[in-house]
Amino acid sequence: MLMLIKIAWRNIWRSRKRSLIILAAVGIGLWTGIFLMAFYTGMIEQRINAAISTELSHLQLHHPTFRNEYEIPYHLPQGREMLQKISKDARVKVATGRVVVKGMIASASGSSGITINGVMPAEEQRLTNLPGKIVEGNYFTPPKTNEIILSKKLLDKLNLSLNRKVILTFQDKDGNLASSAFRIVGIFKTINGPYDDSNVFVAIQDLDALAGIPGELNEISVLLQSSEMLELCQRDFIQLFPETKVESWMQLSPELGLTVSVGDQMVYIFMGIILLALAFGIVNTMMMAVLERTKEIGMLMALGMNKLKVFTMILLETFFLILAGCPGGLLAAFATLALTNRTGIDLSFYGQLYSSFGYSPIVHPVLKFQHLEIIMLLVLITALISALFPARMALRLKPAESLKK
Q: d(Cα 14, Cα 263) in Å, to the nearest integer?
A: 43
Q: Are residues 93 and 215 in the same domain?
A: yes
Residue 20 lies in a domain: yes
Is the entire prediction scored with pTM above 0.85? no
Which of 215, 243, 271 delimits the end of a domain? Answer: 243
Q: Are residues 286 and 365 in the same domain?
A: yes
Q: What is the 3-state secondary structure (H, E, C) of the chain?
A: CHHHHHHHHHHHCCCHHHHHHHHHHHHHHHHHHHHHHHHHHHHHHHHHHHHHHHHHCCEEEECCCHHHHCCCCCCECCHHHHHHHHHCCCCEEEEEEEEEEEEEEEECCEEEEEEEEEECHHHHHHHHCHHHHEEEECCCCCCCCCEEEEEHHHHHHCCCCCCCEEEEEEECCCCCEEEEEEEEEEEECCCCHHHHHHEEEEEHHHHHHHHCCCCCECEEEEEECCHHHHHHHHHHHHHHCCCCEEEEHHHHCHHHHHHHHHHHHHHHHHHHHHHHHHHHHHHHHHHHHHHHCHHHHHHHHHCCCCHHHHHHHHHHHHHHHHHCCHHHHHHHHHHHHHHHHHHCEECHHHCCHHHHCCCCCEECCCCCHHHHHHHHHHHHHHHHHHHHHHHHHHHCCCHHHHHHC
pLDDT tens over the chain, length 405 residues: 677 778 777 777 777 787 788 888 888 888 888 888 888 888 888 888 888 888 889 999 999 999 888 888 999 988 999 999 999 999 999 999 999 999 999 988 889 999 999 999 999 999 999 999 999 999 998 888 999 999 998 998 899 899 999 999 999 998 899 999 999 999 999 888 888 899 999 999 999 989 999 999 999 999 999 988 999 999 999 999 999 999 999 899 888 777 776 766 777 777 778 778 777 877 777 777 776 677 777 677 776 777 777 777 877 877 787 788 888 888 999 999 988 888 888 777 665 666 666 677 788 898 888 778 888 888 778 777 777 777 777 666 665 555 555
276-324 pLDDT, tens per residue?
A: 877 787 777 777 777 667 777 767 777 677 777 777 787 787 778 778 8
Mean pLDDT of the chain: 85
Residue 321 lies in a domain: yes
Which of 243, 266, 296 delimits the end of a domain? Answer: 243
273 neighbors 54 (Cβ within 8 angstroms): no
Q: d(Cα 233, Cα 239) in Å, to the nearest integer?
A: 10
pLDDT at position 105, please? Answer: 95
Q: Are residues 68 and 47 in the same domain?
A: no
38 neighbors 267 (Cβ within 8 angstroms): no
Structural domain harbouring 380: 2-51+257-404
Q: Are residues 157 and 76 in the same domain?
A: yes
Q: Are residues 86 and 220 in the same domain?
A: yes
Q: Are residues 269 and 202 in the same domain?
A: no
Q: Are residues 13 and 123 in the same domain?
A: no
Residue 281 lies in a domain: yes
Q: Are residues 197 and 297 in the same domain?
A: no
Nearest one of 148, 129, 240 to 203, comparing CA atoms: 148
Task: Name the phi and psi angles at 142, rounded to 5.
Answer: -60, 150
Residue 9 lies in a domain: yes
Which of 194, 216, 243 delimits the end of a domain? Answer: 243
pLDDT at position 351, please? Answer: 53
105-142 pLDDT, tens per residue?
A: 998 888 999 999 999 999 999 999 999 999 999 999 88
pLDDT at position 357, please? Answer: 66
Amino acid letter at 309?
K
Q: Are residues 272 and 367 in the same domain?
A: yes
Residue 378 lies in a domain: yes
Looking at the 3D structure of the chain, how many domains does it have? 2
